[in-house]
Amino acid sequence: MYKEGFPSRLKSAREKTGLSQRDVERETKITQSQIAKYETGRIEPDIEKLGILADFYGVSTDWLLGTRGGPEKN
């Protein structure tokens, strides 16, 4: 569930900025080939890169991962 949603959310975040994968590479120092693989689901970022991408796009890691985030309510 989360693994399937992450690539599309990541790509959607990038497309909303109007940036290419190369543009993101220049700003984040994450290689274009890694970004392409994240967006297709071939590989997953480590926690450091996940945080960098969330901060760069101005979204939460919860949103990128497709989780609700926050404590559960009873």
- Beta-carbon contacts of 69 under 8 Å, excluding residues fewer than 6 positions away, are 60, 62, 63
Can you give the pLDDT at residue 68?
79
- Asked if pLDDT for residue 72 goes beyond 70, the answer is no
pLDDT tens-digit profile of 17-71? 999 999 999 999 999 999 999 999 999 999 999 999 999 999 999 999 999 765 5
What mean pLDDT is predicted for residues 14-18?
A: 96
Extents of the domains making up the chain: 2-65
2-65: CATH number: 1.10.260.40
For 66, the 3-state DSSP assignment is coil
